[in-house]
Structure formats: C-alpha cells, structure tokens
Structure 1
Amino acid sequence: MTGQLDGRIALVTGASRGIGCELAEHFAAEGAHVYCVARTVGALEELDDRIKAKGGSATLVPLDLLDYPGIDRLGAAIHERHGKLDIMVANAGMLGVLSPIGHIEAKTFEKTMATNVTSVWRLIRSLDPLLRKSDAGRAILMSSGAAHSAKAYWGLYAATKAAMEALGRSWANETMNTALRVNLVNPGATATRMRATAMPGEDPKTLPQPRDVAARIVPLALPSLQETGRLFDVRENRFLDVHMPG
C-alpha cells in the first residue's frame, strides 16, 4: 500500500487503546510500518488484526515502559532491523491521582513520574540516534493542557507533563540544525479511559473521539513538517507558543 508515510518506520507507545491505538492505525494506513508498544498483549493483537485487514504492517512490542533495559533492547532491535527510525510518538502515560499535593502517596508520585517523565527520557536516550539517521525524523510527545493550567488537585499529573514538555523543548533546541523535528501535542479533552477516570460524571459522547484527534496529529509525522519545539493544540488545529503566559 502507498500513502503519505510509505516506507517510513514508526513507533507508538500506549498503542493498545485510545489516541495511541488510533495513531498506529492511521500511520499504518498511510504506509508506515508501525512498532506498536503497550503492555496489553490482547489489545495489541486486535490492533494488528485491524492493521493487517487494511493492508498495513506492524510489529507488536509487549513492553512495560518501566522496564528501562527493555526500552534499550527495543532501540537495538530497531537499529539491527532497519538502521533508523522515522517517527516516534511518546503517547503512553498515566493520570496518577487527583489529590491535594500533600496527600499523594510516595509510591504513586514515583510511579507517575517514572511513567510520564523518566520513560520518555529513556525513549529519547534509546531512539534519538535512530531518529537522527532518518532523512526526516519526527518525534511527537503527547502533553496536556494540565501542564500549563496547574489546576488544584492536578499537581502530580501537571508536574509530569510540564517536565516532559521541558525535555521536549530542550531536545528540539539540541537538534534544531538536524533533520529531526520534535513537537509537543495537547490533544484536549478526548473520550479516553484516562479522561473517564478523571471526569467520571462526563458524557463521553460529548467529547471528540480518539480517532478524530489522531487524524489531526498525523501531519506532525510527515516529512514535509518544518516546525520544531512547538506545542500543537488539537482543538485549535494549530501550533501555539509553548511558553507559559506571564
């Protein structure tokens, strides 16, 4: 099959459901071979079936992103097989807990930081050399409006996304004179499992669906993209200034 990403090699974390799953499907539909990374084997197999049914191809990677040596092994495997990586989407994340900061349990704080920040750094550490080997490497880091609004009781999740954005912007500055482009994405309120956990009284039918949100993110993976170090707001369908107001 041919498409806008024909022949490209992509990797998506959190690919078993939600936006990550839909992005993997979109990339495959556009001709990319997609490394689908998630913990849930059954959901990955269902994704693979859908991709193959549409003529696409994927490699399933059952991996807990807290297995940091596993991330290193994944990078080595991609290098051995392809010698490069064209697209990386750091989508996997966890909400943690909505709570007064002083009431957050240490183990919850540490696991949320490890999942939302440290694992992204480990991905960058492992995959940056492969993305630089691409003629048009594209990195997409999934953030949240929480990183900038810092609402009461959202401190843990907000802190992880703010830290991840800082990593992403620094990485973009470090690679500005290369072919690699690094951007952040605020998907906005979306009908995902995480959103349902955070807002249990909300009707998911009133929210954008993951597939529609993913469709707007796909252009950030195209070789024609030139922006780097910027925040893409899905709701407004445009890049915004990443700096916090004031």
Structure 2
Amino acid sequence: MTERPLADRIALVTGATRGIGAATTLALARAGAHVVAVGRTEGALEEVDDAVRAAGGSATLVPLDVTDYDAIDRLGAALYQRYGRLDVFVGNAGILGPVTPLGHVDPKDFDQAVSVNLTANYRFVRSLDPLLRLSTAGRAVFVTSGAAHKARAYWGPYTVTKAALEALGRTWAAETVTGNLKVNLFNPGPIRTRMRAKAFPGEDPMALEVPEAAAGAILSLCLPSCATTGKYYDFPTRTLLDFHGPA
C-alpha cells in the first residue's frame, strides 16, 4: 500500500465525533482523503479536526443530526456542487437504544433507534448513491454489530435495527455489483467506546481493543484496491465472510 492511498479522494464519515467514527476519520485523513466529518456536536467535531490537522490531513466539519433527513439531502447536493463526486462513505452513526424487554420499550425510543440506525442510513444511500457512482472507485462501509445475529434478550431495538441495516447494505451491494461502487459491512465486536461502556458497565475497558484498531480495518475496505463487495468483515476474527441464506 502506498503512503497516501486515498490522496485526492473525498470521504464522508457519520458519527465522527468520538469512538470508531473519530478514529476512522483520522485514519482516512492520514491516508490522504479529505474527510467530511458528520456529527451532532460542533465542539467535538472541532476536536477531531484538530487531530486531523495535527496529522497533516484536512476535513470539512458538518454539524448535523442524522435524523434531519432534509439536511442529508442538502449535504448530498452541496457535495455534488463542490466536488462532483464522493469516493468513500462510512455509515457509523448509531445508538444503543433502551436495554429492556420488548414489551417495556417506549414507542418513541423504538422509533428513535429505527430513525438513527436504519432510516438515516437509507437517506444517506438515497443522497450519496449518485455521487459514489461517479467515483472511479466508490467505497461504502456500514458499521453493524454481532448483536444483529444473536437476538440477545432485552436488546430488541438495537438488534432489530442492526439486522435491518445489514439487509440494507447487502441490497445496495447487490444493486451495484457490476459497477465501481463496493459496499460492505463491518462488525467491530467489543471495542473501547462510550456505547460499549453503557451496554456493559461492569466490563473492564482496558481488556478491549481500541477504536483505532477497528478504524485501520475499516480503512482497508475504503481503499481503491479493495475489490470485495457485499461482504461482512468480522473484526474480532479478522475474517471477511460471505452471507448465505437458508437452504
């Protein structure tokens, strides 16, 4: 791999203010990409920008709540006007939602999990698909979770929305299989993040992998040299998996 394999490339990362999103933003910038960093908190975005600049990279900060779907549409239009394309999209923004029996989940909390974890990603697909198809090597990665396959008790909103996100990503990959756009899923597994600490408050965070390690693997799926699509990268086992439906 060359020193800056993403030189002159434009990348967009959601949930860029902390954890895996912030680490991925920095990894992409170090690889040469100009990163459009999307996050809810302007102050946190500025901290990420400081790290990017310190590493010799560049970023455009976009304070945006991913449930503001009209703003996603405006962002897509602005990217087209400014760059005429998009080369990398990392759909990382997500929320845990309530950890409680399904019958106890407040409808507003369930709807919020659907809005952030699923619908927002669909709206980004809708807005960014034309831009990514204009790239000579468009790459899209959705950050999912092993919870999507385990149906863990009390994790209903998170499990359901991540499972649906995987179906969204695989469908998009199938629709773009003959073009320059490659779409893959990434399962980070246990990572030292704020969300993980909220989900497992008794866990020793020092026993977990750091976000920077996951970001390095996500970066590999964003490179022009990555030829795989419709795959599931399981970071805990460092394995790229195919999906197989029922016999």
Q: Please classify the TM superposition score into its range, dividing by the shorter chain length.
A: over 0.9
Contact preservation (8 Å) 1:148, 1:244: no
Per the normalisation by structure 2, the TM-score is 0.97
TM alignment of 1:42-191, pairs within 5 A: 42-191=43-192
Q: How far apart, CA to CA, are the structure 1 residues paired with 2:178 and 2:215?
A: 28
- The CA distance in 1 between the partners of 2:26 and 2:136, in whole Å, is 23
Look up the match of 1:10.
11
Q: CA deviation at 1:55?
A: 1.2
Which amino acid counterpart does residue 174 of structure 1 have in structure 2? E
The alignment covers a number of residue pairs equal to 245
RMSD between aligned residues: 1.1
Match of 2:227, SS? coil
Q: Contact 2:141–2:222 (CA<8 Å) still a contact in 1? A: yes
Aligned residue in 1 for 2:235 = 234
Contact 2:144 2:162 in 1 (8 A): yes
For the Cα contact (< 8 Å) 2:21–2:93, is it kept in 1?
A: yes
TM-score (normalised: structure 1): 0.97
Cα deviation 1:196-239 (Å, max 9, x = unaligned):
00000001000000011111221000001111111001111121
1:244 & 1:184 partners in 2: Cα distance? 16
| Counterpart AA for 2:204 | D
**Take 2:239 and 2:135, find their aligned partners in 1: how far apart are those partners?**
25
Residues of 1 paired with 2:113 and 2:245: CA distance? 23
Unpaired segments ≥5 residues, structure 1: none
Measured after TM superposition, the shift of residue 241 of structure 1 is 2.6
2:199 is aligned to: 198
Structure 1 counterpart SS, 2:237: coil
- The AA in structure 2 aligned to 1:187 is P
Distance 1:51 1:142 in 2: 21
Separation in 1, partners of 2:220, 2:96: 26
CA distance in 1, matches of 2:245, 2:25: 30
Q: Is the 8 A contact 1:217 1:234 kept in 2?
A: no
Q: Is the 8 A contact 2:86 2:134 kept in 1?
A: yes
Secondary structure (helix, strand or coil) at the match of 1:235 reads: helix
After TM superposition, the structure 1 = structure 2 runs for residues 199-218 of structure 1, keeping only pairs within 5 Å, are: 199-218=200-219
How many angstroms does 1:54 deviate by? 1.6
How far has the Cα of 1:181 moved from its partner?
A: 0.2
Alpha-carbon distance, 1:243 to partner: 4.0
Distance across 1 between alignment mates of 2:79 and 2:153: 41
Structure 2 partner of 1:219:
220
1:46-81 Cα shifts (integer Å, max 9, x gaps): 111111112110000000001000000000010000
Once the 2 structures are TM-superposed, how far is the Cα of residue 245 of structure 1 from its aligned partner?
7.5
